[in-house]
Structure 1
Amino acid sequence: MSERTVLIVDDELAIRDMLRMALEMAGYRCIEAENIQQAHALIFDERPDIILLDWMLPGGSGLELMRRLKREESTREVPVIMLTAKTAEDNVIQGLDVGADDYMTKPFAPRELIARVRALLRRASGGEEQGRMEVGGLVLDGESRRIIAGDDAIDMGPTEFNLLQFFMSHPERAYTRGQLLDHVWGGNVYVEERTVDVHIRRLRKALQTEAADYSGLIQTVRGTGYRFSSRGL
């Protein structure tokens, strides 16, 4: 496998140095930006495989850059980990809602960061891909990583795709948030359970298509978690 490129976007040189050293020791190639303008240029010139994005940046916020990336077809699939000193739940949820795949609150351990980077890259590349599955006209093709409803392709992020792939492979069974984290994110990755709720919400939104509303396939099971069921159609 070719060397993966990580873009580090942070205005603090000491943090960039720490991240670069840890990532390079783990075998990654690093590029750096200290503001939104530099980051935007590097993203389109270098095409990084994953982005570590600070919340607060000179000339604008990381959320502003995130919105721009998710609007562009060429960059919306790039995994993003938000780096933030903000700990309030509303701020964390806001970052995930805008499109972040994960977040880390400063200060954090480099080993944990590397684990999350590896997990996100594994998920973005499809991990163990599966074949074609269909439920009520909704088709998921694991080899091409496409989702089709009728004649229309459905756009969604890599995490939502992997969630749907897992659900379609394991229908009619309720899973807790913790179990979903283990199966989809990986058991050695430290992600809070509320992250699951954000991605479920984004998956349901993506499944509301012009051809049909498939969001009902993802059912909330009170006191437990979530279940995929064709009875929701």
Structure 2
Amino acid sequence: MAKVLLIDDDARYRARTSRQLTRLGHAVASLDTDAIGAAASALLRRGTRRPDVVVIDPYVSDMHALPMVQMVCATARRPVLVMTTPRPDDEIARILVAGADDYVGKPASPLVLDARIGAILRRRPVEEEADQLVVGGLRLNSGTREVSVSGRALFLTRTEFDLIARLAEAPGRYVSRARLAELLSPEGSLSVGALNTLLSRLRVKLGESARQPRYLHSSRSRGIALMDAERS
């Protein structure tokens, strides 16, 4: 199974392809090309859950295909499969030179698309160091959203991971509780009190406490910071 991000301007084709890939065992998120700018910005943030592969049709009336492919390749840092209506050989060549990992004509058979995705992922390195952050014995992978301490895997909720990932963007720097609540819940649904509860749960999973912190250090005036107590 792969986590697939499908970007296509045709809503009906996007919905049909999403259903087909889901039936074949993939987890599919889909976007209209109008949302590509916001998606690219999100992918640049540490802690964003990245797809395993991006499937995109970059040929839409008001956008240039090659710059779109280049932007997606640069921000996703994941294999990119271009799926579009048949193109001349020189255009296909330019797509691949621009950074795409593969090309398939549209409409694509679900079985062929599934096989292309599998072939791309077999060529992908098992682990990408760009997604790794290490603080002492704490290891965080923003791509797979996995966290471990001294080799022991932690099973975190989505908000617990988002909290530690936000702090990991700048290890050693304190972030105020109000700012963290805003980052984790832009719509304002997370109160500072709820954030403190979330912090307590995360500390338990890390095997530490507020009185004896190892990684999550708090200050009433400055906020919360991620750092290794044994090296600070």
TM bucket (normalised to shorter chain) is 0.3 to 0.5
Tell me the TM-score normalized by structure 2.
0.47
